[in-house]
Amino acid sequence: MKADSNRLLLSGNHAVSHAVKLVNPNVMPVYPITPQTPILELITEFHAAGEMTGEIMTMESEHSAMAAAITASLTGVRVFTATASQGLLLMHEMLHYAAGARAPIVMFNVNRTLGSPWGFWPDQTDSLAQRDTGWIQYYCENGQESHDTTLQAFRVAEQVLLPAMVIHEAFYVSHSMEAVELATQDQVDAYLPDFNPPHRLDPQIGESWGNTVSQVMFQNHRRDMGDAMERVLQVAKKADQEMKELVGRGYGIHEQYRCDGAEFIIATMGSMTGTVRDAVDELRADGLPVGLFKIKLFRPFPIADVREILAGIPKVMVLDRNFAPGTGGILYQELKAALYGLEDAPEIHGYLAGVGGTNITPAAIKEMVQSAMGEKPSAHSVWKG
């Protein structure tokens, strides 16, 4: 690294590790799993070199990693962990538990196919299957975004007291080398306030967490969680805005790419957005009014924004690199639900594209657009690619 530059050639995973190093969380329970492992490896290297000072906990499972993460967080310190695929699923119980405990843990998840059968390929089903756990979810398309979003996630999570999951896909992002502009320590110190939750596990305070509640108490608690999740929309926008002011990079909680005058919008998340950008450029060059709508913040789902942005658009095509047997593409389902009852709602084509990590090229996307333009949409997700 040159002394005057923070620009490094990094894999997506290592871009995340660098963000975590800048945050220097107090506790980091870790457990290896492909393709997440490079994140933890670089963190432990930083730690061994004395560049990070928190507690590294080399757990025996992701379940225990999340268990330790929750209590460390409730003890009032900053916590980070990372996982993928099966590991995320093993955590499932604890994901609910963390959100219920209002523990603002930040976790990075690398999307990978779920067994069985075994595979190692990019597929968002692992994290999308956790959409009801009460975690904030960010989907990133490249290492730079993952680096910056990881920083944002701490800020947002700690403000609303909900855990946040930042996500990118296996290999396409996790292991691809790209130039990444790192935030500086000064920027991060300015961006992240001290974390001092008023309620925590502390003998000086004496409060406890998790005692059995009544039905009404439980309902109220869930309602409070919902309110906090609602607030994320504004808090996340603000966090992004302030980052943009501080480090010059921002992403919004969603992005419209060349949507001015668009009559056909491709909606997607994650690495697919990069491919779609190229396809949109080519389609625009061909004179077709096509734009990209990138969903970055999937939880909470920005329903109001979605309705506003897509109102009056004749056609929307959703590309899902995930699959829920029985209902199809998950983003497709969410968008349809968000738009329900909208007077000038678009027709929605749901395409299962790239499931299991199959390669989707800009040319394939152009073909899908062209065929969708001439068709009435199916009521269900349609397999492509």
Partner 1 sequence: MTGTVKRVPSIWTTGSTDILNTGTWRTAIAVHEHRPAPCYGVCPVDGDIPVWVQQIRNEKFKEAWQTLVENNPIPAAIGRTCHRPCEGACNRTEYDGAVSINALEQYVGDMAIREGWEFPAPSDELDQKVAVIGGGPAGLSCAYQLRRKGVQVTIFDANPELGGVLRYGVPEFRLPKKMVAAETKRIVDLGIEVVTGRKLTGEDLGELDQGYSAIFIAFGAHEPKRLPQFSKDDSRVLDGITFLRSVRLDAPMELGRKVLVVGGGSVAMDVAGSALRLARQVEILALEGREVMPAPEDEIEDVIEEGAILNDGAMVKAVEDLSGTLLLHCIKVELDQDVPPGVIRPIEIAGTEFTLEADTVILAVGQDPELVDWEGRVQVARGMVEVDNDYRTSRVGIFAAGDVASSERFVATAVGDGKRAANSIVRYLGQKIVVEEGFADEAKEVAIDDINTFYFPTQEPGERDKVAVEIRKFGFDEIRLGLTDAQAFDQSKRCFSCGSCIECDNCSIFCPDMAIIKDSDAPLYYKVLEQYCKGCGCCLEECPRGAMGVKEETK
Partner 2 sequence: MGYEINEEKVFSSGHAACPGCSEALAIRFVLNTLGRDAIAVVPPSCIAIISGPQPLSSMGIPVYQTTLEASAASAAGIKRALVSKGNDHTNVVAIAGDGGTYDIGFQALSAAAERNEDIIYICLDNEGYMNTGSQKSSATPSMAFTTSTPAGKLSPKKNVPEIMVAHNIPYMATATIGYPDDLARKVKRAMEIKGGLRFINILTPCLTGWGVPDSAGPKTSRLAVQSGIYPLYEVENGEFYTLNYGPNGLSVADYVTTQKRYRHLSLENIELIQAEVDHDWARLQKKF
Question: Can you give the binding site for partner 2, defined by CB under 8 A?
Answer: 26-27, 29, 53-55, 57-61, 63-65, 67-77, 79, 93-94, 97, 201-203, 205-214, 217
Residue 258 and residue 292 in contact, taking contact as beta carbons nearer than 8 Å:
yes
Neighbours of 119 (CB within 10 A): 15
Query: Under the phi-then-psi rule, with left for phi > 0, alpha for psi from -120 to 50, and beta for the rest, what region is 312?
Result: left
Tokens of 77: 């310190």
Task: Report 285-344 residues binding partner 1 (CB under 8 A).
Answer: none
Task: Find the binder of partner 1 among 93, 132, 193, 361 (CB under 8 A).
Answer: 193
- Backbone angles phi and psi of 247, in degrees to 5: -115, -5
89 binds, among partner 2, partner 1, none (CB under 5 to 8 A by kind): none
Give the x/- contact pattern for partner 1 in 255-284, rule: CB under 8 A.
------------------------------
Q: Give me the residue label for tokens 């990444």.
A: 180
**Smallest gap, in angstroms, from Cβ of residue 304 to partner 1?**
20
Element housing 111 (H / E):
strand 106-111
Of positions 51, 221, 241, 286, contacts partner 1 by CB under 8 A: 221
What separation, in Å, do the N-terminal and C-terminal C-alpha atoms of the chain show? Answer: 40
Does position 378 interact with partner 1 (CB under 8 A)? The reply is no
Least distance (Å) between residue 241 CB and partner 1: 12
Burial of 217 (0-12, 13-18, 19+ CB in 10 A): exposed
Cβ count near 203 (within 10 Å): 5
SS3 43: helix
Candidates 203, 206, 261, 326: give the one binding partner 1 (CB under 8 A): 206
Beta bridge partners of 11: 177
- Could you say whether residue 96 binds partner 1 (CB under 8 A)? no
4, 207, 260, 343: residue in contact with partner 1 (rule CB under 8 A): 207
**Is the Cβ of residue 51 or residue 245 nearer to partner 2 in the bound state?**
51
The residue to which tokens 């593409």 are assigned: 329
Residues in contact with partner 1, total (CB under 8 A)? Answer: 25
By the rule CB under 8 A, 57 interacts with partner 1: no
219 versus 359: smaller Cβ distance to partner 1: 219
Considering the rule CB under 8 A, would residue 160 count as an interface residue with partner 1? yes
Residue 106 or residue 316: which is nearer to partner 1 going by CB? 106
Q: Which of 40/156 has CB closer to partner 1?
A: 156
Rule CB under 8 A: choose which of 209, 250, 303, 347 binds partner 1: 209
Helical axes 272-285 vs 362-373, angle rounded to 10°: 60
Is residue 353 within 8 Å of residue 270, measured between CB atoms?
no
Residue closer to partner 2 by CB (options 202, 286) is 202
Q: Phi, psi (5° rounding) for residue 178?
A: -145, 160
The 3-state DSSP class for residue 122 equals coil
> 135 contacts which partner out of partner 1, partner 2, none, CB within 5 to 8 A by kind?
none
Taking residue 128's Cβ as centre, other Cβ atoms within 10 Å add up to 25
Per rule CB under 8 A, is residue 215 in the interface with partner 1? no
Rule CB under 8 A: is residue 190 a binding residue for partner 1?
A: no
Interface contacts to partner 1, rule CB under 8 A: 101-102, 158-161, 193, 197-199, 206-211, 213, 217, 220-221, 224, 227-228, 235, 238
